[in-house]
Structure formats: C-alpha cells, structure tokens
Amino acid sequence: MGSERLLIHGSPSMESPRLLLGFSGWMNGGEVATGVTGYFVEKLDADLLAEINSEDFYIFNIPGTMELVSRFRPMVSIRDGIVQNIEIPENTFYYSEENNLIILVGNEPHMKWPEFSKCIFEIVKKFDVSIIYSINAVGGPVPHTRQPRLHATISNKNMEPGFQQLGVSITNYTGPSGISSYLIRDAAENGVPMANVIAEIPPYVHGRNDMCIEFIVKVFCGLLLIYFEHDDLKRMGEQLEDKLNKALEDYPELLERIRELEDNYDRAVFDMNMDEMKHWLEDRGIRLD
C-alpha cells in the first residue's frame, strides 16, 4: 500500500532504521552515489521494500537538437530487431533487517520535487527512520592517487562536531541545487537528522570510478557500523588506477598537472592537520607563535 505515487511491498521489523540515499543525475560523479548504494544492496542481500512510481517525475521529450534531447530519453537495448530492455527511471527502496538499514537507489527527478520528497518522508514516517544519509559526488581538484575530499551539508548544527571529528568539512556553497539539498531542507522541517555527504573526486576520470566508490563504501561501513568483505570492489579500483597510470605515461603534460594536484592536495592536508594540532596544543596552554 502507500500513496498513489508510492507502492510499499512489505512491513519489515526494524527499530528506528537508518536511511541511505543515492541518486543518479546532478551529484553522481563517477557513479559514486548509485554505485555505493547499489553495492550495499548487493552485499547485504537487501530485500525489496517499496517503489516510487516514476510516471510523474521525469521528462522524456523536450524541443531541441538530437544531442540535447537524447539526454532525457530512456535508453533502449535492441538485439536482432527485438527490444530487450527500456531503461525507465526507477526509485527503489530496499531493506536489511539485520543491519537496521533502508537503502534507496534512485534517479534524481526532473520535476515535482515536493511530491517526490513526500514519497521519501512517507517511508521515513512509516518506518520511524532515525537518520538519513545522502551520498553525493562532484568533480574537484583531487588527483586519482589520493582519497576523495569529503564535505557535508547537515540538517542541524548538532551534527557538526561528529563530522569534523571524521575529517569531513562542513559545506559553504551557493549555486545550482540537487535533490539532496531539497530533501535536507524538508528533513529539518520534519525534525529528522539528515546529512548530505559530498565526495570531491577526480574530474578527469570519466565513467564509473571504482576507486572512489570503494573509498566511500568504507566510509559508510564505518559510519553505519556495518561490515562486509569488499575485495572485489578493491580489485576493480586497483585495476582502474593501473589503467590510468599506464595511460598517463603517454601524456606527460597531463601527468605534470596531476603532480601539481598532488602537491596542492598534500599541502592542504598538511595545513589542515597542523591547524588541528595548533588548536589541540592551545587547548593545553601551549602556543606555537
């Protein structure tokens, strides 16, 4: 049951579960958001919980050039003249009773964000969700030889110290918004803690980035206190890194730029760590100046 737009398939027994969100679209660089949530569903052998009816939330046709219009149309697979599959956007909730976790693997809606948000918060209220985490990823000045930088947008200031202890910086940003920012505003209005965790990843690595997906999987395993073997993902990440390193041998100018990114990244990490140490020492009456 559920609303007209939300079909709920079951009523699992969970006690104030956590909700993990990952959407394709605006903030899914390297396919990190959908890659991480999809991997959690696979590894936890999560069961189907609910689905949002996609009919009202997506635009399949707009005026314009074929190149522009093709970005909105569903992808089709045809073999020997027979249609095998049409990829209509889906938003599917899964659950793991053992890990007290609900996972949404979704597609960012094109329109009617208020109605889409209501579907998510119907799940939140029905199952008494205790906290929401949304995974996001964008390109930034980060080399593939370093870990992604992590930032967070939070629904209330009480969450800030916990993320700072994890080395996650709190976001300052003005610009175009993704669905996660819209949802975090609604979470605050509904009194539900929510954090959008944003990974800053290498912009020059196109397509799925298994290195970054593996890192964010480890981050959320720690955050959610969930543990499973992920050697397969680690191997795929290592294979991607080897492939990139070999390709860069033929592009010395690009390799030089990446070395500059590494120097800037390491300097920023050093400065941040030194700043933290300075505050730690000053709290104990020791000054460095």
104-129 pLDDT per residue, tens: 999 999 999 999 999 999 999 999 99
State pTM to two decimals.
0.87
Question: From CA 102, how far away is CA 48, in angstroms rounded?
Answer: 10
Q: How far apart are CA 200 and CA 204, in angstroms?
A: 12
CA distance 50 to 95: 9
Ramachandran angles phi, psi of 135, nearest 5° = -95, 130
Q: List, for residues 7-55, the tens digit of each pLDDT value.
A: 999 889 999 999 999 999 889 999 999 999 999 999 999 999 999 998 8
Residue 277, domain extent: 251-283
- Looking at residue 192, the DSSP 8-state letter turns out to be -
Nearest to 134 by CA among 278, 25, 268: 25
Same domain, 146 and 269: no
Residue 192's alpha-carbon distances to 3, 70, 121, 152, in angstroms, are 21, 38, 10, 16
Tell me if 1 is assigned to some domain: no
**Could you read off the pLDDT of 210-247 as tens digits, one per residue?**
999 999 999 999 999 999 999 999 999 999 999 988 88
Whether 241 maps to a domain, the answer reads no
Q: Is residue 263 part of a domain?
A: yes
Residue 258 counted as domain residue: yes
For residues 176 and 274, membership in a common domain is answered with: no
